[in-house]
């Protein structure tokens, strides 16, 4: 395995998120890509749908930086352990969101992605509280 910088996931997080380059989405993700763990208004298929997620997220959060701490690559699969830091636009609060992303690569592009990020912690950092231990609804 080469360095983490030589992986598709490293390029993805660096170009799309750290450099805020929406055009890189179409270069690094297939138009039929299937992604899990995030939702968009138009579903979870392809670069066009991911662009909507990107636009929504970058409207809600500024100064986004994703540190790629480790990447494992084997065959057509890559997995990265990452930490997102950002500033919530509405409150001005800084958030730190650790997570994992795993992708299947086809022809040098993301064809499938599985995301697991600690959005519960993010909501808590923004002042959200669980109503009860059995109810996952938040209050501000």
Q: Which of 100, 97, 99, 102 is nearest to 114 (CA)?
A: 102
CATH architecture of 4-139: Roll (3.10)
What digits encode the pLDDT tens for the residues 58-85?
A: 999 999 999 999 999 999 999 999 999 9
Domain range summary for the chain, segments of one domain joined by +: 4-139
Exposed / middle / buried, residue 138 (Cβ in 10 Å: 0-12, 13-18, 19+)? middle
Per residue in 105-121, pLDDT (tens digit) is 999 999 999 999 998 89
Q: How many helices (H) and strands (E) does the chain have?
A: 4, 7
Structure-block tokens of residue 110: 């993301």
Question: By CB neighbour count within 10 A (0-12 exposed, 13-18 middle, 19+ buried), where does 82 fall?
Answer: buried
């Amino acid at each position: 395995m080469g360095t983490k910088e030589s992986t598709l996931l490293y390029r993805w997080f660096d170009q799309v998120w750290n450099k805020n380059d929406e055009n890189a989405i179409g270069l690094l993700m297939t138009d039929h890509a299937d992604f899990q763990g995030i939702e968009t208004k138009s579903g979870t298929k392809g670069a066009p749908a991911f662009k909507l997620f990107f636009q929504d997220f970058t409207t809600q959060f500024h100064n986004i930086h994703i540190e790629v701490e480790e990447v494992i690559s084997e065959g057509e699969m890559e997995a990265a352990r990452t930490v997102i830091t950002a500033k919530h636009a509405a409150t001005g609060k800084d958030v730190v969101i650790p997570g994992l992303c795993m992708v299947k690569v086809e022809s040098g592009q993301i064809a499938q992605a599985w995301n697991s990020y600690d959005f519960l912690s993010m909501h808590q950092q923004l002042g959200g509280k669980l109503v009860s231990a059995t109810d996952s609804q938040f209050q501000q």
